[in-house]
Amino acid sequence: MGSAATQTTDTAETTGMATSPRDAVAEVVRRARAAMEAYENHDAERVDDAVRALAWSIYKPENARMLAELGVADTGLGNVPSKIIKNTRKTFGTLRDLLRARTIGVISEDRERGIVQYGKPVGVVGAVCPSTNPAATPVNKAMMALKGGNAVIIAPSPAGQMTTARTVELMRAELKKAGHPEDLVQLLPSPVSKEMTQELMNQVDLAVVTGSQNNVKRAMQSGTVAIGVGAGNVPVIIDSTADLDDAAQKICASKIFDNSTSCSSENAVIILDDVYEPALAALERAGGWRCSVDEREKVRNSLWIGDKLNRRIIAKDADITAEAMGLAPDARRAKFFMVEEAAVGGKHSFADEKLSLVLTVYRAKDFADAKRITRAILDVTGKGHSAGIHTKNLDHARELAAETDVVRILVNQAHTFGNGGSFENGLPFTLSMGGGTWAGNTISENLNYRHFINITHLVTTIPEDKPTEEELFGPYWQRYGKS
């Protein structure tokens, strides 16, 4: 059973070609539980060995490139150089985080409080993955799942099914080579469908869902413990103190990475009035095309078809995007396209997530106005996810963090490269960013290994820690009395 294709055939033969989705999923869950029984998940060294095996399956240079090329051909989204970076950088960073973590046996001890924590598996994980990252996300989730001592079943997006199937084959091959049960990582049986994915979410012990917000909602309603992540729509402020060229270069690098497939890609920039024109000039120097009023309307009319984003434009190369939108010939040499808006619209407006090389620009009267525009954008789409600021005034960054309902505020960073973890910030590496209850999510942090373990607390007695009534009620009594 060395490949995902063989795995699917075996499942069909075991359960019958006319197997119902419920029975087909039950079979892969059974195999996952059997693999967990055979997994040496009581041994931290062996667990780390399995995690390294999964990481190497995609980090290996020829595999990273092959999966990147297959991912673009399979989905029509993004570009190969960016996906190679995503396949390697995210994997390398996640491996760093996981090898530094304790998840098996005693994972922490607090003698002062008399508490020892033991990490234990959550069980079989169902990992629903998006078309935007059909290789990197399955490996990322599988690494975290196996680090917790679990088995994982990968549910691909129909648009990225071939890439995800090949990725699972590579993971299984590395597990076999290292002497671990291959069925620790399995692929949801074909054909991929909403019904089959729903069955997976119903039958596993933990469902972890990235991508379609419809899948996230269905996971939350499945009765299974579920972790879902919210939609991105990142607004970034450029304030009066920012290094404009540095900000522009970072925004460009982030915006064009994988043709804006990332949920962390900047979708809007809010520029303070007193630096508006210099900041736009810096963005133009970095590769942005400033659309005319007429061009803005062409972009608007071509970006959406009805209530859906135009597949001819989303996540496409800049020259293809410019031609599809009917922009001037010189625009095809640009890296991204700026449309200026006077007010924040609603859904299917320039304030919404665009998944394309289109960047909306707003002019703010002052910093208070910039914060207002930021919140208005997030109310359209992306509340809970993240926002950013380019500034030398950290008080502005603190204000934005205190007043904005998002999980992450990035300061002076290229958002796509920092939001899901970076070697230059303290966020854990991940491809799944929780948005808290603002986004209807159960986590308000980056998905990480802690979400894949249960914890047993061994509790022993400590010297009594009981304050007096005066210590607890004193301030209240002084203000309002005891009567």
Least confident segment among 208-222, 231-245, 376-390, 454-468: 208-222
Please, are residues 70 and 87 in contact by the beta-carbon 8 Å criterion?
Answer: no
In a domain, 91, yes or no: yes
In the chain, what percentage of residues exceed pLDDT 70? 96
- pLDDT digits over 156-172, tens only? 999 999 999 999 999 99
Q: Are residues 335 and 240 in the same domain?
A: yes
Query: What residues does 411 pair with on adjacent strands?
Result: 389
Which residue from 177, 173, 250 is spatially nearest to 5, judged by alpha carbons? 173
Residue 19 banded pLDDT, cuts 50, 70, 90: confident
Q: Are residues 26 and 73 in the same domain?
A: yes
Please, are residues 40 and 47 in contact by the beta-carbon 8 Å criterion?
Answer: yes
Mean pLDDT of the chain: 95
Task: For residue 81, give both structure tokens.
Answer: 């150089």
- pLDDT digits over 81-123, tens only? 999 999 999 999 999 999 999 999 999 999 999 999 999 999 9
CA atoms within 13 A on the CB side of 173: 15
CA dist 119 and 102 (Å) reads 8
Question: In the annotation, is 129 catalytic?
Answer: no
Q: Are residues 194 and 315 in the same domain?
A: no
In a domain, 315, yes or no: yes
Q: Are residues 323 and 337 in the same domain?
A: yes
In a domain, 441, yes or no: no
User: Whole-prediction pTM value?
Assistant: 0.93
CATH number at residue 324: 3.40.309.10
Q: Are residues 218 and 254 in the same domain?
A: no
Q: What pLDDT, on a 0 to 100 scale, did the predictor assign at position 7?
A: 60
Q: Is the peptide bond before 191 cis (omega within 30 degrees of 0)?
A: yes
Task: For residue 237, give both structure tokens.
Answer: 């402020």
Average pLDDT over residues 377-398: 98
In a domain, 64, yes or no: yes
Q: What pLDDT, on a 0 to 100 scale, did the predictor assign at position 6?
A: 53
Asked whether residue 450 carries a pLDDT value surpassing 80, the answer given is yes
CA dist 94 and 143 (Å) reads 8
Long-range contacts of 337-340 (CB under 8 A, 24+ apart): 337/288, 337/289, 337/291, 337/299, 338/269, 338/280, 338/283, 338/288, 338/289, 338/290, 338/291, 339/291, 339/295, 339/296, 339/299, 339/300, 340/290, 340/291, 340/296
Q: Are residues 157 and 303 in the same domain?
A: no
CATH number at residue 166: 3.40.605.10
In a domain, 337, yes or no: yes
In a domain, 466, yes or no: no
Q: Are residues 222 and 255 in the same domain?
A: no
C-alpha dist (Å) from residue 104 to 48, 50, 431: 10, 13, 23
In a domain, 140, yes or no: yes
State the DSSP string of 248-316: HHHHHHHHHGGGGTSTTSEEEEEEEGGGHHHHHHHHHHHTEEE--HHHHHHHHHHHEETTEE-TTTTT-
CA dist 396 and 402 (Å) reads 10
In the chain, what percentage of residues exceed pLDDT 90? 92
CB atoms within 10 A of CB 154: 26
Asked whether residue 8 carries a pLDDT value surpassing 60, the answer given is no
Q: Are residues 314 and 207 in the same domain?
A: no
Residue 263 banded pLDDT, cuts 50, 70, 90: very high
Q: Are residues 156 and 240 in the same domain?
A: no
Task: For residue 423, give both structure tokens.
Answer: 């070697």
How many domains, in total, are found in the chain? 2
In a domain, 42, yes or no: yes
- pLDDT digits over 416-443, tens only? 999 999 999 999 999 999 999 999 999 9
Q: What pLDDT, on a 0 to 100 scale, did the predictor assign at position 2?
A: 46
CB atoms within 10 A of CB 284: 14
Least confident segment among 13-22, 197-206, 393-402: 13-22
Task: For residue 464, give both structure tokens.
Answer: 């009594």
Q: Are residues 211 and 267 in the same domain?
A: no
Residue 10 banded pLDDT, cuts 50, 70, 90: low
Residue 9 banded pLDDT, cuts 50, 70, 90: very low
Asked whether residue 412 carries a pLDDT value surpassing 90, the answer given is yes
Residue 272: φ, ψ to 5°:
-65, 145
Domain interval for residue 277:
234-425
- pLDDT digits over 236-248, tens only? 999 999 999 999 9
Q: Are residues 144 and 259 in the same domain?
A: no
Which residue from 184, 212, 182, 176 is spatially nearest to 197, judged by alpha carbons? 212
CA dist 252 and 38 (Å) reads 48
3-state secondary structure of 145: helix
Asked whether residue 1 carries a pLDDT value surpassing 70, the answer given is no
Q: Are residues 412 and 302 in the same domain?
A: yes
CA dist 170 and 60 (Å) reads 10
Q: Where are the alpha helices (DSSP H) in 404-468?
A: 415-418
Please, are residues 211 and 232 in contact by the beta-carbon 8 Å criterion?
Answer: no
Please, are residues 235 and 271 in contact by the beta-carbon 8 Å criterion?
Answer: no
Q: What pLDDT, on a 0 to 100 scale, did the predictor assign at position 213?
A: 85
Q: What pLDDT, on a 0 to 100 scale, did the predictor assign at position 306?
A: 86
Q: What pLDDT, on a 0 to 100 scale, did the predictor assign at position 4?
A: 53
Asked whether residue 472 carries a pLDDT value surpassing 60, the answer given is yes
